[in-house]
Amino acid sequence: MRGWGVVPALDWSDAGQMAGPTLNDGVVRLRQWEIADARWYAVTAAHDDLIQRFATESPTLTAEQVRAAIVELANTADSAGFVICDADSGERLGNIGLRHAGGVGLASYWLAASARGRGAATRALRLLSDWAFECLALDELQLWTHAENSASRRVAERAGFVRCPALDQRRQVKAGVWDTVAYRLPAPTDRSGLSSGCQSTAHIVVP
Ligand SMILES: CC(C)(COP(=O)(O)OP(=O)(O)OC[C@H]1O[C@@H](n2cnc3c(N)ncnc32)[C@H](O)[C@@H]1OP(=O)(O)O)[C@@H](O)C(=O)NCCC(=O)NCCS
């Protein structure tokens, strides 16, 4: 079994052409970030009103910064990130990733505006969750959203996360203070039904 923690370190020359494995439910596919995705990520994250309102992405994010993040995260054992793609066309739809420590992972995600409203984020979160429980052997996933972020709250609920008010916080995010609500998803007691195949991965920017 190979998980994120045993992926060999990559350098710049590797990072431009990472043909790593993917997670796929037949509708969306999660694949590794590549250097060639950096401009798309930066333009999408920095200029989308909803991402700027509800995600921690900087409004001044540049492709150069994303390139550096791709390389850095490829060498970071406690983070993973994927491009959410259309399973058929390969079109980029969004970003999903997690950071983990002590058996607990913190998930986050966003979709490009054109990809919203068809359940892609829910599918991606389910794929990520199954992979994290099976291949990283995490005990629990958590996520938090702005309290007013109804779409993200529905995504969390549809992916099986449950509200955890004890973890709610006021957070300093960018130029403001956000009231955030927390969700958690414990690992299934029987992980044998998960079918990620423990494909190795690496990378990127977790908003
Ligand atoms: C959160 C996000 C990924 C959800 O995208 P999505 O998968 O397209 O979600 P949908 O549009 O299918 O909506 C999911 C659910 O929320 C509901 N919803 C969507 N927008 C809503 C709104 N403004 N108010 C209330 N409910 C809303 C949908 O009806 C759907 O509910 P349903 O399952 O009962 O039909 C997307 O909105 C996004 O990228 N937002 C900006 C970044 C962000 O918020 N990231 C999360 C940070 S925690």
- Which residues sit opposite 84 in a β-bridge? 30, 94
> Which segment of 11-20, 34-43, 114-123 scores lowest on mean pLDDT?
11-20
- Output 189 or 194, whichever has higher pLDDT: 189
pLDDT, one tens digit per residue, over 19-68 is 445 899 999 999 999 999 999 999 999 999 999 999 999 999 999 999 99
Is the distance from CB of 124 to CB of 96 less than 8 angstroms? yes
Rounded CA-CA distance 179/155 in Å is 18
pLDDT, one tens digit per residue, over 140-185 is 999 999 999 999 999 999 999 999 999 999 999 998 999 999 999 9
Q: Is the CB of 55 under 6 A from ligand 1?
A: yes
Instruction: Set out the domains of the chain in order of their start, with CATH numbers.
Output: 4-193 (3.40.630.30)
R_g of the chain, CA atoms, integer Å = 16
What lies within 8 Å, CB to CB, of 41 at 6+ separation is 33, 61, 63, 66, 95, 204, 205
Rounded CA-CA distance 130/160 in Å is 11
Choose which residue among 146, 155, 180, 181 to substitute to test ligand 1 binding: the one with the highest number of ligand atoms within 8 A of its C-beta.
155
Residue 143 CB: number of other CB atoms within 10 A? 26
Q: Ligand 1: which residue has its CA nearest to atom 24?
A: 150
Whole-number pLDDT of residue 78: 92
The residue written with tokens 């969390």 in the block is 156
Stretch (H or E) spanning 132: helix 120-135
Rounded CA-CA distance 2/20 in Å is 12
Ligand 1 atom nearest the C-alpha of 110 is: 39
Q: Which of 110, 106, 124 is nearest to 171 (CA)?
A: 106
Whole-number pLDDT of residue 41: 97
Compute the distance from residue 3 Cα to the ligand 1 centre, in Å. 30
